[in-house]
A and B are shown apart, each in its own frame.
Chain A
Amino acid sequence: MSSADTLEAFKRDGRIVIVGASLAGLRTAEALRDKGFTGSLTMIGDELGEPYDRPPLSKQVLTGWVPADGTVLPRRRDIDAEWLLGVPADGLDLATNHVHLADGREVPFDRMLISTGVRARPWFVEAEAALDGVFVVRTREDAEGLQQAMAAGPSRVLIIGAGFTGSEIASICRERDIAVTVAELAPAPLVGGLGAMIGEVAADIQRAHGVDLRCGVKVTQLEGDAQGHFRRAHFDDGSTVDADVAVVALGGIRNTEWLRDSGLAVGIWGVACDAGCRAFDLNGLVTDDIFVAGDVARCPNPIYEYRFISLEHWANAVEQAEIAAHNMLSAQADRWPHLSIPTFWSIQFGINIKSVGVPTFADEVVVTQGSVPDHRFVAAYGYQGRVTAAVSFNNAKWLDHYRQLIETAAPFPPPCPTPDTPADAKPVPVDFPGPTLLAQGATVVVTGHDPGERRVTAMRQHR
């Protein structure tokens, strides 16, 4: 049988298993059916209920505008799948091509997609995390709980972490006229994603909206009352804040533990894959039947010097789903690389923030259009003389132009003025806080001497 016949047979009655039934998983399933896959499709998800959308959970759901169960993802087509929901996968056997479920079931496949995403990073002291009034926001149950706590009229909400999620929740608090303290270890909000200059703008905006913003501080302890309800937070500078609700917004942890013994290239940044969404194994060899998409994928991007980049962006999940589905059903020569320029958006304090490119891949930033004091501007990011990203505050309609600049490696700073170029536009250092996650220790050891024998094995972390 030729390889074309094999591929046709697979498309006709192969078995595809998708682990992770959220945006990336659902879109992959729909794309597979769109592209003519008629075999069996199994969707495995640890949450019960239909796949749902997460961006509204830190926005419209918290204002009470949209109910938490109102964000079910629209179905673009029937996917005719078997749904195994409410039970997480806890292992993957590449020798026999089986997914193990936590309840002991085993699900065989010919090809599979890993789209297990990210979970919220919990508060580091378990007993404190368990206090009433302490929340993370990742699932719709989380958002529902926090919405109710906000509706109960708390005296103050404490938000730990001023990244995008934390800042959006702070914005909702102010919109609901709830007193809010935001605690951030970095010198300003959004610094980790957008750098120091934008961080300063974000800090001004938060303070102008009445947020009690405390930067450069660490929350050391969450204190509860006798009833087990959160009441007070302690900071490393000795100060305290009294509040009824604490929201832990310290980013996510990629759901890869279940793959620990799978032999795939798995780490804190997710599952490494090629630009075609095919997973790498531990040796750095690409697999042919295992694909990755969404928040859990860690994918090299040629535009950014082939660095492996993990993106927790809605659009990235959608685009990788399309690529993964196409490549699952294609012969080697017909495979597509995932080359979209990343985009994301946020809405906070009445401001639409939108970005194109990878702002962290930059050494300088310059305001190219609009006015920073008016909070309407576009800032371009550059790395060694070329444009690598742009961020807009209430000015998103120009970003398509900046996408083109990134795609064509246009010079930075952009040389020509626009009608709304600020008079004092000058590039400044982008100034990201240093990488805090580099010193993790070794992840693998290499064994064998002959080139045909050399392999790596994973090293468990002892510290």
Chain B
Amino acid sequence: MSELFQEKIDDYHAGKMTPDEVDSFERELAKDPSLLSESNLQKEIIDGLKGYRKSQLKSRLDAIDLTPAWTSFGSQPALIKSLLGVSVATIIGTGIYFYGESDKKVTPLSDVTIDAPRPESITFDRITPAKIFDGKINSLETTSKSLETNQKAEDFATDKTISKEDKKVFVPSFEVPEITSLQDDKALQTSFSDELSGDELSKPTRDPIEVETEITKSLDVRYKYYDGKLFLSGDFDKVPYEILEINSANGRRIYIKYLNKYYKVETTDRLSILPEVVEQKVIEELRILRESK
């Protein structure tokens, strides 16, 4: 089949011929059966090519994802995981936020801010635990210690490493001696339960108190004391303070002498003003302790 005849057949089957051309071509076909047969074959081939292309395009269209955007949104596992992760993180974050807020309400220290003192050395007298044995004060050591006080009081107060369960409740007990017999050591005799062996006296519970101070211009002495740590805040530049510590089987009692006054240290994790000792008997006892050291 020549190229010219091929073009004719193509035009005929594509409907590109004019009516006159069509008539002429059909007359030609009618005269020659082999030509008619060829034309019919060509029509089948052209239809086959059209069908082939159509099926190609339909396959292409079939392969298109027609899921609407809002449903395909849910069919993407990675996206779901991401959103789930964000949601969980949000819930946890919200929980922590509110839990943290409730914790803050329990601890009013959060609104107490004490400026860190100038790094400087403070010298003060410190009395190590007095050993009471057989009703007598065996020793009352006084040491001096230099302490760097460049840490914020707030840090001290909010020591996260100390849980509430770990805090040892300090219940001071004090046996008031007879004033009349204070001149001799009998007045300082402890009860039978207070009589301890030397080993017992050296238990870890008798560890020296860790003291930190902060110099302020306030005349009030503020303090915190828990878990063997004592924090003091006051104007100690001019007049040093003195710690008086008495250990017995009933527990540890701590007093502070400052500006000729005695103050009692009680266990507390809140920054409080030191309560002044007003009981004359206790003041007298502490005075004797100081003089006998």
A and B form one complex = no
Q: What residues of chain B have their CB less than 8 Å away from a CB belonging to chain A?
A: none
